[in-house]
A and B are shown apart, each in its own frame.
Chain A
Amino acid sequence: MNVTELTAFFNEVIKKDSNISPAVAAIKTLLEYIRLQSFSTVVELRESVINAIDVLTRTDSSAISVRSGCEMLLRFITLTALDAGLDSGMEKCKEILLKNGQVFLSKASKARSRIARVACPWIPSGSNILVHSKSRVVLEILKEACVKNGTFHVYVCESSPDNSGLSMMEELNKLGIKVTLILDAAVGAVMEKVDFVLLGAEAVVESGGIINKIGTSTIGLCAKMLNKPVYVAVESFKFVRFYPLNNRDIPNEFKYKYSTISSVKDLENEHPLIDYTQPSLLTLLFTDIGIFTPSAVSDELVKLYL
């Protein structure tokens, strides 16, 4: 599989299933890559996978999302090598890896419904909820909560520059949930009538903060000021071992599309697409492995990686 094939396969996967998260699509692509390619050592496997990851992050899907999924797979490779033992052949190793990959994928596909089940009790009927951008997990939660607990009112941020709030509104309308589309600039004004904020995330970082669509940080700050709880719904494969101190500390390849970085010289005049929301602004994280406070995220990561 060469570079173009890799990118083509990745884009194909995303096109086929519009609901798929870029992280899962990346893992699917990498597993396909590992299946087709032949390797003689684990180190070689690891290195070529790292190269493939680099290729995938150069597509225009959210780089941090792709990375978070890929890191998980790399971790799998290391563990598989340890599991398989030294004397078993490379073929055996590859087999175990692919099997683990499939297990991982099936888990990932069930993650959303699990989160919806976990988060449901936190969404009482009659509440006013502020959501930002389009998040499939949030949508799933609202769907389930609407059926189980009764209806509520959702305020959706328009979330420029891609106006993904619009499609979120349409989806919610289809479910028969009351929706109000608001301007990004109206967050402060709407916040006082909102009961809580429900967000998705592209990645959860080690500090317990989240990286998400631009504007999330603003919402977090407003909510903190007015003492509204902020809940984040996120799959556990989006946990990444990365520790930003503040927004300045987020690398450019996460903030901008790859095409922007490679074509524009002065990024100062470009709009970043994501921002970092610090853990002190978040109340709880709903994940498929349970409900966490932000500080518990790093505990999980330490357990996973050490």
Chain B
Amino acid sequence: MSSQNNQSQTSENQTEQQKSKADLRRERRVKQEEQRAKKATTAASTMPKKSSQPEKPVSANLKQDDAKTSHNVSNESKNKDLVFETAPVKLKLNRKEDLAESQSFNTKPKLFHHFEEYKRDYSITERNSLENSSIHPNFLKLGLQSAHDLISCSNSRCIGFLYALKQFIIDLKFPSNSSKTLSEYIESKLKPNINFLTQCRPLSVSQGNAIKEMKHIILHLPVNISETEAKDLLVEEIDKFVEEKILLAAETINKYILADVNSIISGTSYAQSKISDNDTILIFGYSNLVNRILIEAKQRFQNIHVIVVDSRPKYRGKKSLEKLLKYDIDCSYILINGISYIMNRVNKVILGAHALMANGYVMAQIGSSQIALVAKAFNVPVIACCETYKFADKVQTDALVKNELGNPMDLLKNENKAMQNEKPFLAKDEFTSQIGENLNLLNLIYDVCSPELINCLVTDMGMLPCTSVPVVLRLKNRDSTRTGLKNEPIIRN
């Protein structure tokens, strides 16, 4: 509803452009003031009502999760009482109202109208009863977790999805008098779950690929298979996917990059470790895979220095830092603004990837492309790490055609403690009223990095130049058609 409202407002703007700008602004301010007043009163009236409403039992898991977040929030909000009002901290406190508010500000820049609006639509969870809902509690949990950014790494999102799917399949009851076949029934039941997940946060490429693979398996279930057999088979396939394509793949990548000669991988018996003693390695943000590689490298080489580069607004690098320091790795921490100062001391850049495009472009956390570009300028080799299950068969040449938007309000969040005592400029009323009029907020999540900037791509099939992605995709297709459901072992002698 609010998004429609929004659109009609903007069209109104266009027709009213003949009016003097000052007039227009005054009018709008009055209008918005009214709106805000109205909202405040409704919020005040709904707040107690909501809490007094008896909550229907949902699921133990879900409730726990919710309780945890709301608990956190209440603590946080106490500390940061004066902080910027529309920050997502509050968004968690009172979802419905705040969601509407953040959307009313969410006017996208003219060039970027094609992006799907930042939306976290879990309104379904606020319905009174979830007992008859078609959403499985594990999917509800995953959806809420990804909407609140509690799970953000693309690997863990995929694993989360697969485990939810596993529980979903175990809990599924196939009606005896159904006209549908087993696979049709599973698919029809799965569909709303996946839709819900997409509404909470657009699916990651890893999740998309996993869904594709699982659907393929579900659709090709043997015709006369019994319910329990089918369940066993699917659960086994899911476990296998997690085990082989995600966990084992990460291990293999580790071996390739550190040239673990003990496990001779065909044709690379004299491969050299890409990390050597006294290296200074630059990493960006947080990647499970990259951290693991560094931790393993530390066990082998004593003098490794890691430079963790971080960026606003998520500060994912802090998580990396925490993990690396725990393993006694010598670290430096720097924000992306200072990257060109540090780059001449760096030997290698290691980046994690969100996905790989068929034309060799690397999709990664926003800022990665910038890092690769600076590294290229300083002639520092850039290594990208990515499991082959994250290879997409789509082509993309820049980050503007397709991308995900984060919460635009995150960009305005002011983390500066010193400034929090006084009301920050951005949080002042006269400023907020201008949002949507003259201020456009664009919080992109990913960016796409051209293959010329990446020297080496390490996958579980070995080290490749980025341009070899199509060959890998072709090989994967060949394997899956040749062996049907069975997957080829990754390491062969």
Establish whether residues B493 and A206, one from each chain, have CB atoms under 8 Å apart when the complex forms.
no
Judge if A165 is at the interface, Cβ distance under 8 Å. Answer: no
Question: Judging by beta carbons under 8 Å apart, are A242 and B465 in contact?
Answer: no
> Counting CB contacts under 8 A, is B463 at the interface?
yes
Distance A40 CA – B268 CA, assembled complex (angstroms): 25
Instruction: Give the docked Cα–Cα distance between A280 and B274 (Å).
Output: 20
The answer to whether A242 and B471 touch (CB under 8 A), given A279-B465, A302-B461, is: no
Q: Is the CB of A241 within 8 A of B461?
A: no
In the complex, chain B residues 452-466 whose Cβ is within 8 Å of any chain A Cβ? 452, 455-456, 461-465
Binds B, one of A71-79, A94-102, A167-175: A71-79
Choose from A206, A245, A298, A302 the contact partner of B381 (Cβ within 8 Å): A245
Q: A245-B348, A245-B456 are in contact. Are A306 and B475 (CB under 8 A)?
A: yes
**B267 and A249 contacting across the interface, CB-CB below 8 Å:** no
Q: B368-415: which residues lie under 8 A (CB-CB) from chain A?
A: 379, 381, 383
The answer for the CA separation of A67 and B272 in the assembled complex, in Å, is 14
A305 cross-chain contacts in B, Cβ below 8 A:
266-267, 462
Q: Is B471 within 8 A of A303, CB to CB? A: yes
**Which residues of A have CB within 8 Å of B461?**
302, 306
What is the bound-complex CA distance between A54 and B110, given in angstroms?
64
Of the candidates A208, A245, A302, the one whose C-beta lies within 8 Å of that of B471 is A302
* A50 at interface, CB cutoff 8 A: yes
Q: How many residues of B contact A (CB 8 A)?
A: 27
Picked from A67, A71, A280, A299, the residue with its CB within 8 Å of the CB of B468 is A299
Could you tell me if A67 and B471 are in contact, using CB atoms closer than 8 angstroms? no
Does B269 sit within 8 A of A, measured CB to CB?
yes
Task: Report the Cα distance A298→B472, complex, angstroms.
Answer: 11
- Asked if A85 is at the interface (CB within 8 A of a chain B CB), the reply is no
Q: Is the CB of A302 within 8 A of B274?
A: no
Query: Whole-angstrom distance from the CB of B455 to the nearest CB of chain A?
Result: 5
Q: Is the CB of B471 within 8 A of A249?
A: no
Distance in Å from the Cβ of B255 to the closest Cβ of chain A?
14
Chain A residues with Cβ under 8 A from B267's Cβ?
71, 74-75, 240-241, 301, 304-305
B270 within 8 Å of A by Cβ?
yes
Tell me whether B150 is interfacial, beta carbon within 8 Å: no
Q: Once bound together, how far apart are the Cα atoms of A246 and B464, in whole Å? A: 15
Contacting residues, chain B, for A304 (C-beta < 8 A): 267
Q: Is B125's CB within 8 Å of the partner chain A?
A: no
The B-contacting residues of A in range 155-203, CB under 8 angstroms, are none
CB–CB A295/B465 < 8 A: yes
B272 touches which one: A208, A251, A280, A301 (CB < 8 A)?
Answer: A251
Interface residues of B in 413-471 (CB under 8 A from A): 452, 455-456, 461-465, 467-468, 470-471
Cα of A306 to Cα of B470 in the assembled complex, Å: 14
B468 and A302 contact, CB distance less than 8 A: yes
A207 touches B (CB below 8 Å): yes
Min distance, Cβ B469 to any Cβ of chain A, angstroms: 10
A306 touches B462 (CB 8 A): yes
Contact B383 A245 (CB under 8 A): yes
Chain A residues, CB < 8 A from B455: 207, 245-246
Q: Mark B256-271, 1 if CB is under 8 A from A, else 0.
A: 0000000000111111
Looking across the interface, which residue of chain B has its beta carbon closest to that of A245? B381
| Among candidates B270, B271, B379, B471, residue contacting A299 with C-beta atoms closer than 8 Å | B471
Query: What's the minimum C-beta distance from A245 to chain B, rounded to whole angstroms?
Result: 4
1/0 per residue, CB under 8 A from B, across A266-306: the answer is 00000000000001100000000000000100110111111
With the chains together, A180 CA to B364 CA distance in Å?
Answer: 51
The reply on A122 being an interface residue by CB < 8 A is no
CB-CB contacts of A216-257 with B at 8 A, as 1s and 0s? Answer: 000000000000000000000000111111100101000000
**A42 to B, closest residue via Cβ:** B493
B50-70 interface code vs A (CB 8 A; 1 in, 0 out): 000000000000000000000
Q: Which residue of B lies closest to A298 (CB)?
A: B468
Known: A299-B471, A306-B475. A206 touches B464 (CB 8 A): yes
Chain A residues with CB under 8 Å of B468's CB are: 295, 298-299, 302
Residues of chain A contacted by B467 (CB below 8 angstroms): 295, 298
> Which residues of B are found within 8 Å of A279, using beta-carbon distances?
465
Q: Contacting B271 at CB < 8 Å: which of A242, A280, A303, A306? A: A242
| Closest residue on chain A to residue B452 by CB atoms | A280
Contact of A245 with B266 in the complex, beta carbons under 8 Å: no
Closest Cβ of chain A to B465, distance in Å, is 5
Complex-state Cα separation, A241 to B271, whole angstroms: 8
Cα(A306)–Cα(B462), bound, Å: 9
Knowing A245-B381, A298-B465, A306-B462, say if A75 contacts B471 (CB, 8 Å).
Answer: no
Q: Nearest-CB distance from B450 to chain A (Å)?
A: 12
Contacts of A74 in B (CB 8 A): 266-267, 269
Q: B residues within 8 A CB of A306? A: 461-462, 475
CA distance A208 to B266 in the complex (A): 19
| Distance of B426 from chain A, by nearest CB (Å) | 43
Is A302 a contact partner of B270 (Cβ separation < 8 A)? no
A304 to B462, CA, bound (A): 13
CB atoms of A78 and B472 under 8 A apart: no
B475 & A208 in contact (Cβ 8 Å cutoff)? no
Given known pairs A298-B468, A299-B468, A302-B471, the reply for A245 and B268 (CB within 8 Å) is: no
4 A-B pairs with least C-beta separation? A241-B267, A295-B467, A243-B463, A245-B381
A selection of 30 A-B contacts at a CB cut-off of 8 Å is A71-B267, A78-B266, A206-B463, A206-B465, A207-B465, A241-B268, A242-B272, A243-B462, A244-B272, A245-B274, A245-B348, A245-B381, A245-B455, A245-B456, A246-B379, A246-B381, A280-B452, A295-B465, A295-B467, A295-B468, A298-B467, A299-B470, A299-B471, A302-B464, A302-B468, A302-B472, A302-B475, A304-B267, A305-B267, A305-B462
Interface, chain B (partner A; CB < 8 A): 266-272, 274, 348, 379, 381, 383, 452, 455-456, 461-465, 467-468, 470-472, 475, 493
Given contacts A243-B271, A305-B267, 4 further A-B contacts (CB under 8 A): A75-B267, A78-B266, A207-B455, A251-B270
